[in-house]
Structure 1
Amino acid sequence: MAAACGGTENSGGDGLTPAQGDCPVAPLDVVVSVDQWGDIVSQLAGACAEVTTVLAGSSVDPHDFEPAPSDAVAFEGAQLVVVNGGHYDEWATKLAETSAPDAAVVDAVDLAGAHSDDHGHEGHEGHEGDHEGRDHSINPHVWYRPDVVTAVADAVTAKLSELSGDAAGYFSERRAEFAGSMQPYDDAVATIRTGAAGKRYAAVEGVFDDMAAALGLANRTPPGYQAAADNEGEPSPADLDAFLTLLSDRGVDVLIYNVQTEGSVPEQIRAAADQAGIPVVEVTETLPPGAESFQDWQVGQLDALAEALGVGA
């Protein structure tokens, strides 16, 4: 399973140009659970919020994170809390309830549910849960859904404006600038969706599946293997063999490989793709070292995918 996120930090996203002028009011206190959203929130809030991201980096899996007393302290006094939701970071929801009970909350998975009727997963079936009771019928990696990124940005801007009405104009300007900074991302999505819709992929695990669905790619990951990966288990020998056969038969156009996923099975699958001459596109669950912003991270991966699929300028 991919490792994801570790370490509390104050975020100051680099996707936008520096805010013009000082904030017209005292900055809000905002806490974000994970850096996939922390960077976006920092860009939207600018100088009008002090944004603390609890888990930033790749040393801890948010599913398994055990918060320390210092993490609870980080939530105290928060006026806005932004969580991923969907069993991904339940610890953050609990800390918000106990340490910041009056804070406004934006939950990305809740927002994703409002769009789920129009968001299909070809070749992907939900799995009801695992031995720890996690619901895997919803892919929690919703930062890989372009519609949810937009919905979260809108919801965060709305909450910031409600909490600090005198800065509403400032937040509106930040939201517009964020939209402009997302244009390369939007263009990359449109390019792949136009030029590669229907092309086939398989993945060592499902972090990128929502983006693949948005791009119109067909998921050919063997169902048994995908069920095991979604439930953080080991695939059966038969399921692994089905995956290796799929690759040797060149049954997909690209393999999506999360480099934060460790183990001999993913390595074996990648080696089989290399041997079959199938392009491998590397993705990550969290912002990788060196990424300047959410946009920089995502566009880099999308450009690599477009090249692998033979589309683009």
Structure 2
Amino acid sequence: MNKFKKISVFFIISSILLIITGCSSKTNNPKKSINVTTSLNFYGEVAKDVLGNHGSVTSIINSPNVDPHDFEPKSSDAKDVSKTNIMVYNGLGYDSWAENLTSNNKNIKNINVGKLMNKSSSDNPHIWYNIDTMKKLAYKLAKQFGQLQPQNKKAFEQNAKNYVKKLQPVEHKIDNIKKSKINKPVAVSEPVFDYSLDKLGYSVADKSFEEAIEKGNDPAPADIRQLQNDIKNHKLAFFVVNKQVNSKIVTNLTNLAKNNHLRIVYVTETKPENMKNYIKWMDSQYDEVLKIQRNNRLK
């Protein structure tokens, strides 16, 4: 996916918002249902679990075929956001359009997940691959919901704890992978899975290569040669490939990896349609790493 493109419809969105914000003024009435909007569906999952039956959650991007970087909100999206109490978006330049949707409405509380994780604009935006992000977001949402509905504060706090508890099997799998990790670095096609790799204890061998692909640039010939040599000389534990990106360079390297019996972990930037939820999505990708490590021990 091409990264960090400026959204050409900013002024259109602003015009829509100027029209609709005049009729969207609201107060924090504790009797009112809480309305939450999230830019991405996996953040919506957290919000739904924490909110329970005390409101509604709308996720603007629900399809894995939509590139969040290049997404152009419709007028209906702006109208939905105008009715919301809390807007959750990734930040870090990943979904700038979501922040723009709320820029003219002071009644909406924004949760910038990147800032919540103390990240800056130059950091890797794929922060949902750090499971701590989801835990921290759950507790942040519970706090915000409790301010809107003080009478349900304890319920929101318990819901957040219950959601975090559901993440524990994934955390245990991460710990098991780290304990038996292969003592080699990994190569990646782009930095989608990097936060997970850090949790698993793996280092990335091709930083310059992945950054070039991430930004839509051609990697330097020297970086390509180095990666080719690492694959041929069996210096890597495995190769992580974002299968949602169509790149001739990456395809050629993937074929080279297969020909040299280097195992590949396929990941996606957005939650696949066949995955029930965020937890199943993460779990399936960690399972691929576990399989590689088990096969390595059997050699």
* TM-score normalized by the length of structure 2: 0.84
Q: Residue 92 of structure 2: which of 65, 69, 86 is its match?
A: 86
Q: In structure 1, how many angstroms separate the alpha carbons of the residues matched to 2:208 and 2:172?
A: 34
Q: Is residue 2:157 matched to residue 1:151?
A: no
Q: 1:199 to 1:161 in 2, by over 3 A?
A: farther
Paired position in structure 2 for 1:267: 251
3-state SS in 2 of match to 1:205: coil
Q: Residue 201 of structure 2: which of 210, 216, 230 is its match?
A: 216
3-state SS in 2 of match to 1:207: coil
Q: 1:209 to 1:103 in 2, by over 3 A?
A: same
In the TM superposition, what is the alpha-carbon distance from 1:183 to its structure 2 partner? 1.5
Of stretches 231-240 and 176-185 in structure 1, the one that deviates more from structure 2 is 231-240
3-state SS in 2 of match to 1:262: coil
Alignment check: 8 A CA contact 2:191 2:211 kept:
no
Paired position in structure 1 for 2:39: 33
Report which structure shows greater RCO (CA 8 Å, sep ≥6): 1
Paired position in structure 2 for 1:169: 154
Consecutive unaligned residues of structure 2, counting only runs of 5 or more, are: 4-29
Q: Cα RMSD over matched residues? A: 2.1
Deviations 1:32-71 (A, max 9, x none): 0112312222222222221000111122211111222111
Paired position in structure 2 for 1:120: none
Alignment check: 8 A CA contact 1:201 1:217 kept:
yes
- The one-letter code sitting in structure 1 at the alignment partner of 2:159 is R
Q: In structure 2, how many angstroms separate the alpha carbons of the residues matched to 1:270 and 1:28?
A: 47
- The one-letter code sitting in structure 2 at the alignment partner of 1:102 is N
Q: Residue 181 of structure 1: which of 125, 148, 166 is its match?
A: 166
Deviations 1:162-181 (A, max 9, x none): 11111212212211221221
3-state SS in 1 of match to 2:225: helix
Q: Structure 1: which 4+ aligned runs deviate by more than 3 Å? A: none
Bigger Rg over Cα: 2
Q: What are the equivalent positions in structure 2 for 1:88-107 lying under 5 Å apart?
A: 88-98=94-104, 100-107=105-112
Q: In structure 1, how many angstroms separate the alpha carbons of the residues matched to 2:285 and 2:229?
A: 26
Consecutive unaligned residues of structure 1, counting only runs of 5 or more, are: 4-23, 117-134
